[in-house]
Structure 1
Amino acid sequence: MLNFTSRTTYYLSSTPTDMRNGREGLAGIIREKMQHDPYSYDEAFIFYSKDYRKVKILHYDINGFVLYQKWFDDGKFFKPRFLETARCHKISRETLILLLSTSVQSEIIL
């Protein structure tokens, strides 16, 4: 089960992701592009679609992967604009909740 706790470290992909990717495809992106271990139980990885209407979060708990998905019917997620170049960006629990709960036509600076 995915719990949005402050003990979990959240990493947001710096580029849009093909939402056809499932658990294995996203785990490969985590290993190859983000250079993290997808089996780390204290980390969660956030991916967003090119049109900013879909998001997926992959997390490994004690006995397997949890894949959380959200699609906005109206509006979009905040478009992330990064101040630095990196493969992924560490974000706070509060920023994650803001990204998941807000449907807007704007951007958020991270």
Structure 2
Amino acid sequence: MLDFNVRTRYYLCDKPTDMRKGRNGLAGIVREILNRDPLRYDEAFIFYGRHYDIVKILHYDLNGYVMYEKWFDEGRFLKPVFMEARRCHRISREQLILLLATAVQTKLCI
């Protein structure tokens, strides 16, 4: 279970990711592109889809990989703006909660 605690470090990938990838594909990105160890139980990795309508979170919880997925039927996640050019950005627990809770509407229904 992913618990939003202060011990867990959250890392956000700065480029959209192919959301067809499963846990092994995302673990490969963590290892090869982000240069992190996907088997660390105190780290979670966040990936956006190309249209910012899907987010996947990969986490290792001592027994194996856990992957969370969230998508909006209407709207998109906030597109993050990065101040530095890196592939992997550490974000706070509060920033993660804000990213997961906020949908930007893509159309106005009248």
TM-score by length of 2: 0.93
User: C-alpha separation between the residues in 2 aligned to 1:2 and 1:65?
Assistant: 11
The one-character-per-residue Cα deviations of 1:17-50 (angstroms, maximum 9, x if unpaired) are: 0000000000000000100000000000000001
Q: Larger Rg: 1 or 2?
A: 2
Give the match's secondary structure for 1:81. coil
| Aligned-residue CA RMSD (Å) | 1.1
How is 1:1-110 mapped onto 2 (pairs within 5 angstroms)?
A: 1-105=1-105
Structure 2: which 5+ residue stretches go unaligned?
A: none
Question: How many residue pairs get matched?
Answer: 106
Contact 1:78–1:105 at 8 Å: present in 2 too? no
Q: Stretches of 4+ moved more than 2 A in 1?
A: none
TM-score by length of 1: 0.93
Give the match's secondary structure for 1:38. coil
Structure 1: which 5+ residue stretches go unaligned?
A: none
The one-character-per-residue Cα deviations of 1:43-87 (angstroms, maximum 9, x if unpaired) are: 000000010000000000011111000011111000011010001
